[in-house]
Amino acid sequence: MNYPKSFTDLVECFKRLPGIGGKSAERLAYHVLSMDKEYVQEFANVLSHFQDNIHYCKKCGHICEGELCEICKDETRDQSVICVVESPKDVFAMEKVREYHGLYHVLHGTISMIDGKTIDDLNINSLFERLDGVKEVIIATNPTREGETTALFLAKLLAKKGIETSRIANGLPIGSNIDYADELTLLKSLEGRKKI
């Protein structure tokens, strides 16, 4: 006997989420069955509102609700330093450090042989468009093979434009992600950055 179509439609939607397999998707669908109507409506509204209102900042690629993110709009931040990270999650991680007052640029990924991603697939053109007045670019991609490859490639491109580039220090464990690092480790890594 098959599930009713409305049920399988919801299961299929859940299955498209990362880390959710068939069994988990079914479990979630059963859970929705037990939820009260107001909550299901609120959930649907929040999802729809999220989709309509969350964008990537036109300048740096971080997430925001308007054209520009809070960091790009903040004129008190040091406009001469840009910290390049892989994802918006890393911006939130770096902000926890509190010692960094410059700007960010989010690449939305890394160069990856396995996934066939090249430098052209990253949010990189908008970085080159905002280098006026920038004295230093700190590359804070994750200490993974892909993160290191991306850092080297980016440093070469920036060197051609005469921009001083530094890489966060190796205080972070190899293969780890910046958004999992604690504040002290990140602070040390930032302070110990080296020119590349």
Using CB under 5 A as the criterion, which residues of the chain lie in contact with Zn ion when the complex forms?
A: 57, 59-60, 62, 69, 72
Q: How do beta strands 81-85 and 103-106 pair?
A: parallel
**Which of residues 72 and 186 has its CB atom nearest to Zn ion in the complex?**
72
**Which of residues 59 and 167 has its CB atom nearest to Zn ion in the complex?**
59
Q: How far is the CB of 67 from Zn ion (least distance, A)?
A: 9
**Which of residues 68 and 157 has its CB atom nearest to Zn ion in the complex?**
68
Q: How far is the CB of 108 from Zn ion (least distance, A)?
A: 13
**Which of residues 29 and 69 has its CB atom nearest to Zn ion in the complex?**
69
Q: How far is the CB of 62 from Zn ion (least distance, A)?
A: 5
Q: How far is the CB of 78 from Zn ion (least distance, A)?
A: 14
